[in-house]
Structure 1
Amino acid sequence: MTKHTKNTMSLRARLLTGTVAAAALGAGTFGAISANAAEPAQAPAAVTADTTHPRDLRQSTHLTIDAATRAARAALDAAESENQRVTVAVVDRDGNTVVTLRGDGAGPQSYESAVRKAFTAVSWNAPTSELVKRLESAPNLKDIPGTLFLAGGAPVAAKGAPIAGIGVAGAPSGALDEQFARAGVAALTR
């Protein structure tokens, strides 16, 4: 055999081997894809045994979005019936905003004030008008982030524990704001 023939054969052999390998690889990949498509993926095994003792658990109560919306709407309606332009916020027990309704013509500062009043009311499970009085003996309370010690916040409680707060801001007095917030709380008991 000549050197040229030997290299040609070697090249042909290499091409043939590469083609066979590519075909085998392709068939294997196609087979794996087909098998995966035909069989649904199995979810990881779930832990089915209860590993937590009941004494280590605590149930908590939360307002539904419907209840929070109903309360906010009642507070806003009470304000609008007296021609007041306010914003109403409802926060959950952790201070997360659930619903905010900004009435027509409410001032830009009213949004944040309503949220902060709601947070303050739920944090201490007390109307913010009562909490304002506590500042006389503990003036540093006002330094707690997210709070606002002005009348206009009312807590929502279930079984004596706070579960939400309603804050209203924008009326010319905190007493009016709080009156509207209490209307929101009252809507939850109807």
Structure 2
Amino acid sequence: MSGDNGEPKTDALVPPFAQAPVGALLGGVAAALSSIGTAWIGGLMLLVVADVVGRNFLNAPITGVSEIAARSVVAIVFLQVSAAILQRRLTRADFILRRLEGRAPRTQALVEALFSLTGAVVFALVLWASWPKLADAWAGAEFFGVQGVFTIPTWPFRGVTVLGAALAACAALYVAAQELRKARAAA
């Protein structure tokens, strides 16, 4: 099916990344990880509330909440960042892009592509720096917490960082490719 201008018709409810097979796969994985991150936020909120109630009303704090919360925040960010990239919701100052939107769509697409390529490089560097730490945590059975009181292995948290950075780099490259196609079409 195509629209009046010869371009394929798109459903307004379907995100642009879901129209191509690679985009659909990438978007599906990103959405699944983002859902896990959202559920993790809910669980973390319940844990913090239980700790506050236990600490203030029952004189029985939950051991390890601060350690879990500190590691969880980073993990949640890396679980959700690829979905934010694909949905074009990554935090940024877009006042220049809004000015270019109607006046220079090709320039806007090129700036978006440059932004996405920069993001891909940043996430690739995070992946490159995080991989050895994941391998060391796995091989060395690394834990955090207070030994004898509360400990938890670090490798799952480092693994989420590696997975999230890899998927975020792929998502940024995918968005950059889309923007470059858009720039070519606008020329």
Name the one with the larger helix percent: 2
Per residue, is there more strand in 1 or in 2? 1
| Smaller-chain TM-score bracket | under 0.3
TM-score (normalizing by structure 1): 0.24
* Higher RCO, Cα 8 Å, sep 6+: 2
- Larger Rg belongs to: 1
